[in-house]
Amino acid sequence: MSYHGNGPIVLGIETSCDETAAAVVDAFTEVKSNIIATQHDLHRVYAGVVPEIASREHLQRILPVIRESLTEAGVTLSQLDAIAVTNRPGLIGSLLVGVSAAKALAWSLEIPVIGVDHIVAHLYAGLLDEKPVDFPAIGLVVSGGHSSIFHLQSSIDCELLGKTIDDAVGEAYDKTATILGLGYPGGPALDKLAQQGDDSAHDLPIAQLGRDSLDFSFSGLKTAMLYAVRGQPQKQGNSHVFMRSADDLTPQQIADFAASFQRAAATALLRKLKTALDRYDVSTLLVGGGVSANSRLRNELTELADKRNLDLRLPEMQYCMDNAAMIAGLASEKFKANAFDDWTLTASPRMQPTVTGRIEA
């Protein structure tokens, strides 16, 4: 392997959901470029990601996005040491576009390909462009597809401690935003509105799932919001219909619902996180995923870290959402550990925990 002096130059590719992204990360995980083409406009009308549309769009965009990432980084293909790609978990058709592109590029350049777990990579986002952290650490991933807690021995060696048993927290944000008429994906809009609302206006349910469990559940919270906003459905002929909608609420009432939801969601996350921190002796807290951009969650995590004297690594805003810099960054750790893949690398819709819950990043 050539190290170009200080470490590998890695091109990362991310196509697991509805963002086509490519990034170049240098030695010491300094981000040289971070290009993201989102498809939100295409999926908005369906209020969710349509897998077939997503994979077709990735095909159209992947090469221009890779080219742009190299140009912006000022790096040529021949200078790359490895190609990293998200190969799990995600939408299988979308993942396959990235994995095929990565393998073809790596094969033609005669450099290694490195498959990366998208969820574990979210925890690397707070380490990009930053000084290294101490391990072991506790990690919290909060995104549109996942809500998970990990215990990490290193960036690439982690154990899944708990996860959502139904909706992810970002999904609950997006569905609640739709109920409140805020558009899709509504997490950022709901966050903004919540800042003008009274968070004690509504008492919404926070799932416990047993005192020892580190799992989350957000579907009850979402359903409670649905009934609180629209009322109980009434029988009309053979079906049940809602008699109210967000259109019947005043702007202040909508803001109060948003604030109350946000309080419940943050409380649910913080409770389980505190349980994990009580159970494991760590000095570092890693957080990642789209919902780590949330203002209330960021404040509460910062307070918690101050109180417990933890080195909290919250990603910069540009690295909260799906991006390829976190993929290339985590891959450069795998590169240093000689953890390469071969040409049998393929995509999987699921994470790959072993029986002990240990995850290969």
Least distance CB 91 / ligand KG4 (angstroms) = 11
Least distance CB 86 / Zn ion (angstroms) = 9
What's the longest Cα–Cα distance across the chain? 74
Query: Considering beta carbons, is residue 80 or 301 the nearer one to ligand KG4?
Result: 301
Q: What is the full DSSP assignment across 19-57?
A: EEEEEEE-GGG-EEEEEEEE-HHHHHTTTS--HHHHHHH
User: Applying CB under 6 A, which residues contact ligand KG4?
Assistant: 17, 143-145, 170, 173-174, 185, 187-188, 191, 289-291, 293-294, 321-322
Query: Which residues are CB-neighbours of 93 under 8 A, at least 6 positions away?
Result: 51, 52, 54, 55
Query: Considering beta carbons, is residue 57 or 322 the nearer one to Zn ion?
Result: 322
User: Applying CB under 5 A, which residues contact Zn ion?
Assistant: 143, 322
Buried b (16+ CB within 10 A) or exposed e, 264-291: bbbebbbebbebbbeeeebebbbbbbbb
Query: Considering beta carbons, is residue 9 or 168 the nearer one to ligand KG4?
Result: 168
Which SS3 state, helix, strand or coil, does residue 88 take? strand
Which of Zn ion, ligand KG4, none does residue 291 bind to, with CB < 5 to 8 Å depending on kind? Answer: ligand KG4
Least distance CB 133 / Zn ion (angstroms) = 20
Least distance CB 265 / ligand KG4 (angstroms) = 8
- Of all residues in the shown chain, the one whose CB is closest to ligand KG4 is 290
Query: Considering beta carbons, is residue 19 or 26 the nearer one to ligand KG4?
Result: 19
Which of Zn ion, ligand KG4, none does residue 26 bind to, with CB < 5 to 8 Å depending on kind? Answer: none
Least distance CB 146 / ligand KG4 (angstroms) = 7
Which SS3 state, helix, strand or coil, does residue 233 take? coil
Query: Considering beta carbons, is residue 17 or 301 the nearer one to ligand KG4?
Result: 17
Query: Which residues are CB-neighbours of 48 under 8 A, at least 6 positions away?
Result: 174, 184
Is-contact 115 341, C-beta < 8 A? yes
Is-contact 96 78, C-beta < 8 A? no
Least distance CB 292 / ligand KG4 (angstroms) = 8
Which SS3 state, helix, strand or coil, does residue 209 take? coil
Query: Considering beta carbons, is residue 197 or 289 the nearer one to Zn ion?
Result: 289
